[in-house]
Structure formats: C-alpha cells, structure tokens
C-alpha cells in the first residue's frame, strides 16, 4: 500500500483538530440533521424536540418504541401521501402546531394528496406552500423538509428559513444554543431550549437520549448558566426534576458555566415521551 502524501496527512490532522476544538464545527458532526431541523425553529421558541426515527427503526432494542411511534403517526402521514417507512426524523416545537418531517419524501405524491384534500398551491416568501383555508392548515417544503400545521405557525417557520431576506433569526442563530448542542452526542431523542422553570440563570439547555442496553436508554443533559455563581442553587431542583421524570442513577457535574447531567431511563418509561401527532 502506498504511503499517503505528507500534505494530505497534515490536512486531515488539522481538520480533525478543528472539529474537536471549534464549537459548532460540522466536520465529523453527528448532529447535522438536528441542526438542519432547528434552523426552521423561530428563536423566540422556548424549546424544540427532535426524534431520530431512522435510529429507532434500526435499533432492535428500541423496536417497541418504533412500533408505538408508527402506530401513532402512520395514519396522519398517509393522509399527506407519506409512507411512514420513508420518514427519518420528526420534530415538534413547544407551543406550536407545526410538525417538521425529514426523510425520503416524494413531493409529487404529497402534493397530489394535498390537492385531493382541497389544499391550494401558493408561495410564501419564495417557498412553495399549500393551504386549506377552511382548516387553517398549511403545508410547506423548505430546504428539503416538510412543515405542517396552522397557518401562522408554519409561516413563522418559513420566516426564519428565509432569514437572509427577513433578518429573523432561528433558534440555531443563538450562540448559547450552539454551545450547548456542541456538548451533546447524537441520540434517538433530542430536546433543545432557551427557557426553563428550573432556574432563571439558565440561558440554554439540551438533552439527548441514547440507546443503552436491552432495556434502558442513557440521558445526557447540558445546562448553560449566566455564570458559575448560580449553579449550586440549581443543582437540587435539576436532580429532583430528572428523578421525577423516571430517570435514575442521576449524576451532576460542573464544567465552567455548564452543568452536565447523566442518567438512565427504562425503555417502557421512555416510550411514553414520544411526541403526539396532534
């Protein structure tokens, strides 16, 4: 086997170092899909939740969770001309009716189905969208995603997708959110937020659940504080919160202005956290 040129080896090494040291760097980034979805979330949103359906589908230990999601969502998806097996990720925004879908979506099938359901085609801020005025429902296809929900909620997402024109930021444009996401691994469920009742000094937070053994998942949560002075006051409330959410082996650790939490949850309890379609 021929040796690689020295310049190529050095370039590869530099890129690897950059990926480790620069917050938000997308090289070797396991959270790229979540970042794509979060760029459609208005910055004013309190929280955002992303489920990696592809991971659920391919993890035999999480088969019961996937089947529950399929049973809850398949009818709604089929009404829009989407086969549930083509869905890779679903996301919801707290306080919003919008469902965000990514995957191998056939827009011809979807638009044909929308026409059957008396949706009318139009555009909004340069993006194709379909409207059923009597139901106050919009469906749109920005950046390879599908957005579905009430008109005002979908329009708010389209505004941030087109932020170069509208100058309205998405949640991802918040540097504190980026710093939290940079400390999280990829997982089957991700929640990111900027507001929480746990402590007023928390400016951004995120949680990820990863497959553990055959009966559990592992939690990692990260909270960013205004300063280290507030962390001690928040520890008890945060620990109690996670224990009340059926997590155990809850452990807290400080890292500068961040508080990190790890824990474990049983699969039976975890599947109750699946997002509702309506």
Q: Name the band, by pLDDT with cuts 50, 70 and 90, for residue 128.
A: confident
- List the helix and strand counts (H, then E) for the chain: 10, 12
Count Cβ atoms below 10 Å from residue 255 Cβ, excluding itself.
11
The pTM (predicted TM-score) of the whole model is 0.85
Between 149 and 142, whose confidence is greater?
149
> Looking at residue 278, what is its pLDDT?
75
How far apart, in Å, are the Cα atoms of 169 and each of 41, 91, 146, 206? 9, 19, 19, 19
All domains of the chain in start order, with CATH: 45-166 (no CATH), 173-273 (3.30.1830)
Tell how strand 189-193 and strand 202-211 pair up.
antiparallel
Region 238-265 average pLDDT: 97
- Nearest alpha-carbon partner for 23 in 235, 222, 226, 193: 222
Lowest mean pLDDT across 44-48, 161-165, 253-257: 161-165
- In this model, does residue 1 exceed pLDDT 60? no
Q: Rounded to an integer, what distance in angstroms lies between the CA atom of residue 128 and that of residue 141?
A: 6
Segment 146-153 mean pLDDT: 96
157 and 39 Cβ atoms separated by less than 8 Å:
no
> pLDDT exceeding 90 applies to what percent of the chain?
77
Are 190 and 49 a contacting pair, CB within 8 Å?
Answer: yes
- pLDDT at site 166: 65
- Per-residue pLDDT, 34: 78
**Could you please report the per-residue DSSP string of 132-146?**
ETTTTEEEE-GGG-E
């Amino acid at each position: 086997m021929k040796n690689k040129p020295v310049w190529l080896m050095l370039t590869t090494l530099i890129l690897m170092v950059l990926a480790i040291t620069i917050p938000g760097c997308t090289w070797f980034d396991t959270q790229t899909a979540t970042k794509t979805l979060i760029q459609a979330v208005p910055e004013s949103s309190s929280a955002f939740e992303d489920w990696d359906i592809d991971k659920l589908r391919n993890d035999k230990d999480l088969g019961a969770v996937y089947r529950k999601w399929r049973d809850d969502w398949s009818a709604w998806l089929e009404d829009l001309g989407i086969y549930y097996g083509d869905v890779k990720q679903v996301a919801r925004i707290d306080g919003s009716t919008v469902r965000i879908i990514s995957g191998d979506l056939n827009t011809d099938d979807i638009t044909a189905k929308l026409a059957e359901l008396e949706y009318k085609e139009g555009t909004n801020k340069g993006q194709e969208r379909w409207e059923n005025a009597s139901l106050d429902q919009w469906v749109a296809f920005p950046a390879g995603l599908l957005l579905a929900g009430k008109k005002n909620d979908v329009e708010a997402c389209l505004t941030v997708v087109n932020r170069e024109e509208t100058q309205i930021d998405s949640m991802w444009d918040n540097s504190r959110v980026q710093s939290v996401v940079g400390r999280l691994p990829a997982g089957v469920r991700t929640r990111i937020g900027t507001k929480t009742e746990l402590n007023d000094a928390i400016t951004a937070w995120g949680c990820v659940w990863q497959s553990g053994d055959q009966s559990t998942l592992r939690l990692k949560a990260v909270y960013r504080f205004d300063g280290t002075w507030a962390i001690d006051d928040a520890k008890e409330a945060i620990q109690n919160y996670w224990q009340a959410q059926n997590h155990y082996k809850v452990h807290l650790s400080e890292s500068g202005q961040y508080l990190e939490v790890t824990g474990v949850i049983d699969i039976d309890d975890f599947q109750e956290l699946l997002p509702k379609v309506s």
